[in-house]
Amino acid sequence: MAVHLMRELDNLKKVSLTLAAMVEDNLRLAMKAVVERDEPLARKVIEADIEIDRQEVEVEEECLKILALYQPVAHDLRFIVAMLKINHDLERIGDLAVNIGERAVALAQRPSPTRDFHIQRLAEIAQTMVSRSLDALINQDAKLAREVWLSDNEVNQLNRDLLNEVEEEIERDPSQLHALLALTLISRTLERIADHATNISKGVIYMIDGDIVRHRSKFFRKKFAAEQAQGSGEPS
């Protein structure tokens, strides 16, 4: 039975990584469509969500099948529970990439704003968080997962700065209203994507260490930040 369980767990990892790759690629293409004002590409992003949803259902069915047939315990059980949660976050990131694609369609049909208000920088950080959270999952790296979690603060600050700057720009030049509103929606969407990347990193921490950290965010953020500071201060 153990051999069969390991085979099923390996298959679950494969289908989960397939979903992760699809989501990550669609997010990248969505932001490319925004930056390049590429409406056809944005519409491809929107259409690709059908396959992402199908893959998300397959991952969930694999998790439930393993739970029903093998009744795993300890680390194997934590792995499956974490994968169910991570699967949901991946699907939500896929949906949010579609939202960005829809905003990209709107932007492509209007004059470009005079500035991008650091939207590309915000996108880079959010996409990096998604990528690194998935690397932490693949490599079972709790330290990397903690680093992803800590980086969420920068995304939140950039989003706040962008919203303030856009508000000032709308007051200065109301003719840009629709394009600037689209940028604020993209910014907010990127912040939500970063939140889901953070959730994935928390799932990885639970999977590896058994720590449920979502209700103790302040304590663990301080703890992880202190550990990082101590590590960076050690002599090489």
pLDDT of amino acid 218: 59
**Predicted model pTM:** 0.87
Residue with tokens 């302040």: 218
> Which residues, including other chains, have CB under 8 Å from residue 179's CB and lie 6 or more apart?
107, 110, 111, 112, 113
60, two tokens: 């969930």
pLDDT of amino acid 217: 57
pLDDT of amino acid 236: 37
Domains of the chain: 2-227 (1.20.58.220)
Q: Which of 218, 209, 229 is nearest to 136 (CA)?
A: 209
Spatial contact of 118 and 60, defined as CB atoms under 8 Å apart: no
> What stretches in the chain show pLDDT beneath 50?
235-236
pLDDT digits (tens, 9 = 90+) for 78-102: 899 999 999 999 999 999 999 999 9
C-alpha dihedral over 103, 109, 111, 112, to 10 degrees? 40
Q: Residue 214: phi, psi to the nearest 5?
A: -65, -25
